[in-house]
Amino acid sequence: MKEAVSAIEYVTRSIHRVRVLEHLRSGERTRGELEASIDASSRTIRRVTDGLIEAGWVEQTTAGFRLTPTGAVFAEEFAETLSKTATLLKLQPFFRWFPRDVCSLSPEAFEDATVTIRKPHSPYEPEDRALNRVSGTDTIRTIAPINAPFYNETYYKAIMEQSASAVTVLSKDVLSMLQRDGDALEDVIQTGRVELYVYPDPISFGLLITDTVVAIGAYGDDGTMQALVESTDETVRQWAIETFEQYRKAATEIEAT
């Protein structure tokens, strides 16, 4: 194990080693091709290739360099590890806040997802992404954990002005706040294009399913959205639909008055 760790550590100590292995995965390369693609000097490429040859991952040919049989396997596995690590790193803020008892999916399911994080200089960026999804779709299925006026306004316009249809699940507390805010709630129900359900318990996450994308919101203890994940992956979509239906079936539909 120590020898394997040392081998990986040797490669990762230099971004140029990593990039040489990456480029050689697609086939043999000349020294000049490596210099140009990696944007490194001839001296750097010589030092890197000499080291990888000594390590047994690369061999020199009459034309240039190629991976050894073991180097080819190592480069593929190493590239996969880098990809998975990048996915995990971008998802860390989301899973920090998202309730673990809700999401049964592995982080790997979100490999191609877009993750938007709340930052001090752009605290509403996750919400803005969610709003853009609401305003550009014909059908909306959503689980709403909080009463967010800016979201409510976009939702209202999507129903009343863009003729979108929606099925929404929200908590009793959120319903009470919406009912105190005026007639907007009754207006959207009266369109006949909205089904509204009240869930008996507090809701700890947000979910939006549109025609093309699933957006999942993770909230902090103060009710602010800390991260938003958007995905078009079919596995994520199936999980979202099943989760939405689970909450909808446990909720009570609100009839128009």
In this predicted structure, which of 22-26, 29-33, 114-118, 130-134 has the lowest mean pLDDT? 130-134
Q: Please tell me the pTM assigned to this model.
A: 0.81
Q: What is the pLDDT of residue 235?
A: 94
- pLDDT-derived band at 175 (thresholds 50, 70, 90) equals confident
What pLDDT score does 179 carry?
75
Identify any residues that bridge with 195 across adjacent strands, giving them in sequence order.
167
Answer for the pair 116, 97: CB distance below 8 angstroms, yes or no: no
The answer to whether 230 and 118 have CB atoms below 8 angstroms apart is no
pLDDT-derived band at 218, boundaries 50, 70, 90: very high
pLDDT in tens, 126-156: 988 888 888 878 898 999 888 776 677 888 7
Chain length of the chain: 257
Structure confidence at residue 174 (pLDDT): 82
In this model, does residue 257 exceed pLDDT 70? no
Dihedral (CA of 250, 248, 232, 185) sign: negative
Instruction: Give the tokens for residue 236.
Output: 């994520």
Confidence label for 256 from pLDDT (cuts 50, 70 and 90): low
Instruction: Name which residue leads in pLDDT, 20 or 172.
Output: 20
| 8 A C-beta contact, residue 97 and residue 226 | yes
The reported pLDDT for the residue numbered 238 is 95
- pLDDT over threshold 70, residue 46: yes
| Mean pLDDT to the nearest integer, 200-211 | 92
- Each residue of 50-109: pLDDT tens digit? 999 999 999 999 989 999 999 999 999 999 999 889 889 989 989 999 998 888 888 888
Are the C-beta atoms of residues 46 and 31 closer than 8 Å to each other?
yes
* Averaged confidence pLDDT in the chain: 89
- Backbone Cα Rg of the chain: 25
Question: pLDDT at position 182, please?
Answer: 67
Please tell me the predicted confidence (pLDDT) of residue 236: 95
